[in-house]
Amino acid sequence: GRRRPGERPTATTPDGEPKPAPTVRRRRATTDEDAPAAAPARRTRAAAPRAEAAPAASEDAPTEAAPARAPRTRRAPAAPRAGRTSRTENEASKGMIEGADAPMPEANDTPPEAIVMAPITELPAVAPSAPLPPGDLAALTTEVTRLRGFVEQQRTVLAELRAGILTLGQQVDRSGYRPRLGIFVDVPNLMYGVDGSKQVHMGRLLDMLREGRQLVRATAYSPVSDDPRESIEQQKFVAPFVPYDYRIVTKSLKRFADGSIKGNFDVEMAIDMVSMASRVDVIAIVSGDADFSRAVEAVQAQGVRVEVVAFAGSTSLEMRALADHYLELSTVANRILV
């Protein structure tokens, strides 16, 4: 029952039987296959330089591609502040002072006062002749003849330019703004002014007066007979205006005790001219009756141009004096008489 030196006591159960020895688990040695992937080595201050390659992992360990590092970009140098001079400008100025070749400035850096405009090429003038010897009359005559020929050439060129300008002005007038025209025809005054057996063609008269202008309205004031059996369109003072662009205003003739008749439209024409003055630029009065002189003055006061159109035998001196333009129909008889 004695224990040997160094022997552990044996545990027993209450019945006196020895307890079984506890099972001791031993740790199995790990191999390379069981070893986990090697963790990346931490950087230390004594790490190898970046240029050296990292140590290769074991064949059994999974390999991962190292993340690519973004290339470093250099920041552009900041623009120098106002009032300061950059190092490059200082070096350039220093080089210019010392005689070094400085860089040429760009176009945008050139100050406005340094820009010099190219001289305008002048037109060639007459080539001066050689100095004339004193007392040489023949040479002087030749020089005068040459200068006269040059002057004639210049006159020809100026005449051509003047004709071209006039033609261009006429084309601009025709294609551009045309003055607004109003025509007022005193029919008895016009017809009684014709000499001989000829008659005025009212369509040609209308075309002549509105040539180059915008016709607003042409009104003919015609007296008519009070006989109901006679058609108005066929009467003497109405029929010549019916086929053309006239507005015909009629009024019955007045019969007097002595048997004479008269058709007077002075009031109607004067009222219409003054009322229409604000809508036209030119008024053409086909009458030489002096009764319209006050109406002409009222229209001219509104800035309207007044033209008097009549035959010389039926035109008063007062109407000629007041008119801005007087057209005597005898001068254009070949255009309007039939």
Segment 197-201 mean pLDDT: 90
- From residue 234, alpha-carbon distances to 44, 79, 171 in Å are 128, 96, 42
Helices 266-276 + 293-300 axis angle, to 10: 0
Q: At 100, list the tokens.
A: 């070094």
Considering the entire predicted model, what is its pTM? Answer: 0.50
Confidence class for position 10, pLDDT limits 50, 70, 90: low
pLDDT of residue 196: 77
Question: What is the rounded CA–CA span in Å between residue 199 and residue 188?
Answer: 13
- pLDDT average, residue stretch 147-162: 91
Residue-wise burial string across 311-327, b where 16 or more C-beta atoms lie within 10 A, e elsewhere: beebbbeebeebbeebb
The count of other CB atoms within 10 Å of the CB of residue 304 is: 23
Mean pLDDT of the chain: 75
CB 207 within 8 A of CB 180: no
Q: Are 288 and 296 in contact (CB under 8 A)?
A: no
Q: Is pLDDT of 78 > 60?
A: no
Of 248 and 58, the one with more pLDDT:
248
Amino acid 71: pLDDT: 54
pLDDT in tens, 271-311: 999 999 999 999 999 999 999 999 999 999 999 999 999 99
What whole-number distance in Å separates Cα of residue 70 and Cα of residue 89?
Answer: 34
Highest-confidence segment of 129-133, 173-177, 204-208: 204-208
Is 319 a residue whose pLDDT tops 80?
yes
**Residue appearing with tokens 């014709």:** 194
